[in-house]
Structure 1
């Protein structure tokens, strides 16, 4: 037993030693020529065809590429085979006598095996070494634009063929589309047809386990740049890959390897040839720059947008002339394309993958559970969602008095019962009103006969324009809910009133939308009375109090104290930047984290507990919708109200500035007593942000004639349930519609 115990420790050490020392411990298993010398590809080709030639060529940007030719007299045509990521040209001859390259050669074609920059055969450059970070500053874009172009032109010059056939596998197909779309004239002159096998061009939210691997590389790329060894991934001759091959060679469970491959590339357990499993490991491991992962991750994060590399807004403007990288112009392709793909391919996802489940438990098996399905709304923008469920929409733009441009979305209706304007909460935009699929709040009111307008506040996803300021400037974000109420709501309401014939509208604001609604109605009381028929405010957060138990008070405290260390000139003047790398990674992790209940319970610490109220099929939509930027000043303003125990007051700039702005050392309270518009307050008994005491305080401060319709306290509701609770329509919006119907009926009776 002692001897066995000793062997238990010695064997792994010997394995590590042999892998480090490059001892050929694979020889008992395989005898191929490329275990220690990948250049043995020439011997392999000669063994099965009797002929092989090696060629070297230079790209326009200085890389030296190696190609292998299997020549044939009087061929039917010339085929270029371009390999996938992590591999090189050996993949085309790694199936013994049935290798893909030999199949085409035996069919009468002259075969050329390409190798892109950076792989084992193409590590030379006119003035860069492969140990220089600059050598690895490329993605599949450069492979398509430079490598494919140089390779194809070289083949044309060295054969009698005027056009060749291009076959690209995975990344080879990606680079093929880059070449054909960015050099359409060259491609049409030189290529007869492009055949792509599993071309990864629109990488989106599929089922592959690799989606959990890509974001860490994205993080490394952004933070390490190209400093140190991490600028490349998987060196073929590295000690860790030799160790993996050593362990693999001694590992008897080949089925386990096949199943592991299925987690990444897709589930086809009986398709991978057992005889080729060892070969797969021997040819696997070609270097790839982190920038390549970053580019693929950018496509993935965007939901499958096949765009050029995103260097950031400033560099994009310099390189492309636009803040966002341009799409690859696939519409310019002039070469015939033949697409090949697998139904179970997890990377290209020919089937729409599940993104929604009807129960929380099913998220642990989201891709295979019959309780889960694909909901297209999650991957669509607001106009696409409205078009899918209603079929009609309009987009409008309005300018505020202080120069911000706001985008409004309209779901029009002829001869409506009334016009209703929705204003969204913090951290989101107008999408929150259409984020419940076919049962969305906006659609509910539209089907009830109302002309629906969806507002967006300054700084939200579609409202980042100003007459003179740019959203990269701190001054653009110098606002809180005061400016939203005084300027944004005023401009939006007046515009809607003008567009709909001049009659009064109904205002419905949720959370921040309710806060800004109270600002508007109290500071522009006469204009509000002329333009607003009724104001419905859902959990308006006007009187944040010390007695409320939400953990938000600690977040507000931290944010407020950032004033001492973060000036408005710092990038942190914006919170929750939607396009920031950390926001993208956060969305990715939260969306794919299977324990949705854990996320929900964490949110309850801030918004209040509401047992089993949050609909399971809305939780991923919630993550996608609630990612809109807002300034730290917004949090500062809310915190200022909190520390004075719920006084609804203007922003406190300090005594000196307060005297200039307000005429007093302390900020003045909002004059709620001036409100002339009827106000209907909706609140939740379990809301920890806007707790019942705070709602009661607001209600008592309003004039009696403004509270004639009373208020609605919803038992068991927290701060989120008005948008995502399973009983939101039954307990809230149906009752609001009943009240509006009653008011409408009373108005009709008054007319008669």
Structure 2
């Protein structure tokens, strides 16, 4: 067996290589899907949200949301054609860090949460947060030319993207409230909205969180800690070289992973092991077929600034805004320390589902969060002791292990 030192060296080496692959890259010349098909890429990995959902018999619509600060977000409405009548109110499903709406389809129609929720005839809206490939637009800024586009983190996503998405869905459907399901960053940004935007928390009847990411003090994943903290420490240096975007779809690292993981014979051994090193081992949870699809859509891109914020979140026991240093904090916040988010403002009925084997959002941090919220309906540990973070979107056990609880609360807060 390899020594612990050798394993750590390999992890750090791969992490550095991934960072450099993004830092040194320019956007690759797009490779056509026709050429990728000839090389044996799985079809699902080449399709976008509307194509993939349609491929499995689901109708989807593409909608455009513009935030108050000018970011242009693409969101999707999806439903199963067999539903003669949709349940009300609508449901928003929001992805996690470095993901897109595609993450909810990658596990296929028997396990992807977007399919399962649609099969239950909910009016489902699948969101995208700024900076991923579906939301890499702005009314004024060019993401390839203007560094200002990338000066955002989860703080701005919670302040602008989540409220704008909620407002759009409510206006379009003419409903007074909706139900919200947030995974990881998609949950944490909702909490930020509740703290910063009075009244918005009340626009949901229930908030169902899946491995909610607030503070990340006890994160066990050494590669994730290393990556985010190196980025946090080198953000200014990266900016001097013009690097503001990271882990973009179409970058060298993403295209390499997509190519490597397309090989059925090695995808589980190499890509599955790599995924497990960043999270934790859960043998058999993510199928080989799903592993071959994931990396056609992941990573989906974000800002260096956002990754730096996650590096900071592992250095504090508070759920707080971005720390710019004492001098800049005084100018921005009027105090030397970044303010903590007001979790007592999260008055919406709250449900949490999380795993004891999650190495990215540790159960101790979830318990800390739950203890500070005023309206917790239920906090449930997934029954499988090996359930981890990435299982939420990609496990083929989703239908049995987390969807029943999600459906229970959606039914409770919905009308036929």
After TM superposition, the score normalised by the length of structure 2 is: 0.85
For 1:658 and 1:742, locate their aligned partners in 2 and report how far apart those are by CA, in whole Å: 43
Contact preservation (8 Å) 2:219, 2:359: no
**Equivalent residue for 1:643?**
315
Kindly name which structure, 1 or 2, has the bigger radius of gyration based on alpha carbons. 1
**Equivalent residue for 2:43?**
376
Q: Answer yes or no: is 1:478 the counterpart of 2:151.
A: yes
Contact preservation (8 Å) 1:431, 1:625: yes
Q: Answer yes or no: is 1:389 the counterpart of 2:56.
A: yes
Contact preservation (8 Å) 1:474, 1:570: no
Per-residue deviation at 1:651? Answer: 0.5
For 1:658 and 1:388, locate their aligned partners in 2 and report how far apart those are by CA, in whole Å: 50
Contact preservation (8 Å) 1:550, 1:607: no
Match of 1:429 among 100, 116, 122: 100
Q: Deviations over 1:312-366 (max 9, x none)?
A: xxxxxxxxxxxxxxxxxxxxxxxxxxxxxxxxxxx995xxx865xxxxxxxxxxx
**Partner SS for 1:670:** coil
Runs of 5+ consecutive residues of structure 1 not aligned to the other structure? 1-218, 224-296, 306-346, 356-374
Indicate the larger mover: 498-507 or 707-716.
707-716
Q: Answer yes or no: is 1:711 the counterpart of 2:380.
A: yes
Change (3 A) 1:447 1:570: same
Change (3 A) 1:650 1:454: same
**Equivalent residue for 1:724?**
394
Q: Answer yes or no: is 1:660 the counterpart of 2:331.
A: yes
**Equivalent residue for 1:344?**
none
Change (3 A) 1:560 1:612: same
Figure out how many residues of one structure are paired with residues of the other and give that number: 384
Q: Answer yes or no: is 1:405 the counterpart of 2:75.
A: no
For 1:512 and 1:688, locate their aligned partners in 2 and report how far apart those are by CA, in whole Å: 15
Indicate the larger mover: 735-744 or 691-700.
735-744
Match of 1:528 among 201, 207, 214: 201
**Equivalent residue for 2:235?**
563
Per-residue deviation at 1:421? Answer: 0.4
Per-residue deviation at 1:586? Answer: 3.9
Runs of 5+ consecutive residues of structure 2 not aligned to the other structure? 1-20
For 1:447 and 1:348, locate their aligned partners in 2 and report how far apart those are by CA, in whole Å: 30
**Equivalent residue for 2:406?**
736
For 1:583 and 1:420, locate their aligned partners in 2 and report how far apart those are by CA, in whole Å: 30
For 1:586 and 1:446, locate their aligned partners in 2 and report how far apart those are by CA, in whole Å: 30
The equivalences for 1:190-209 within 5 A come to none
After TM superposition, the score normalised by the length of structure 1 is: 0.48
Contact preservation (8 Å) 1:398, 1:406: yes
Looking at both structures, which has the greater relative contact order when contacts are Cα pairs under 8 Å and sequence separation is at least 6?
A: 2
Q: Deviations over 1:500-559 (max 9, x none)?
A: 112311111111111212111222242221x11111111122121246354311112211
**Equivalent residue for 2:302?**
630
Change (3 A) 1:627 1:546: closer
**Partner SS for 1:509:** strand
Change (3 A) 1:557 1:626: same
Contact preservation (8 Å) 2:185, 2:212: yes
For 2:58 and 2:232, locate their aligned partners in 1 and report how far apart those are by CA, in whole Å: 45
**Equivalent residue for 1:490?**
163
For 2:253 and 2:413, locate their aligned partners in 1 and report how far apart those are by CA, in whole Å: 48
**Equivalent residue for 1:699?**
370
For 1:376 and 1:603, locate their aligned partners in 2 and report how far apart those are by CA, in whole Å: 21
Per-residue deviation at 1:578? Answer: 2.0
For 1:547 and 1:442, locate their aligned partners in 2 and report how far apart those are by CA, in whole Å: 27
For 2:204 and 2:122, locate their aligned partners in 1 and report how far apart those are by CA, in whole Å: 15
For 1:483 and 1:702, locate their aligned partners in 2 and report how far apart those are by CA, in whole Å: 22
Contact preservation (8 Å) 2:258, 2:292: no
Contact preservation (8 Å) 2:216, 2:314: yes
**Partner SS for 2:265:** coil
**Equivalent residue for 1:459?**
131
For 1:384 and 1:728, locate their aligned partners in 2 and report how far apart those are by CA, in whole Å: 23
Contact preservation (8 Å) 2:218, 2:365: no
Per-residue deviation at 1:694? Answer: 0.8
For 1:629 and 1:500, locate their aligned partners in 2 and report how far apart those are by CA, in whole Å: 30
**Partner SS for 1:483:** helix
The alignment's C-alpha RMSD in Å is 2.5
**Partner SS for 2:102:** helix
**Partner SS for 1:502:** coil
**Equivalent residue for 1:505?**
178
Q: Answer yes or no: is 1:678 the counterpart of 2:341.
A: no
Per-residue deviation at 1:722? Answer: 1.0
Per-residue deviation at 1:738? Answer: 1.9
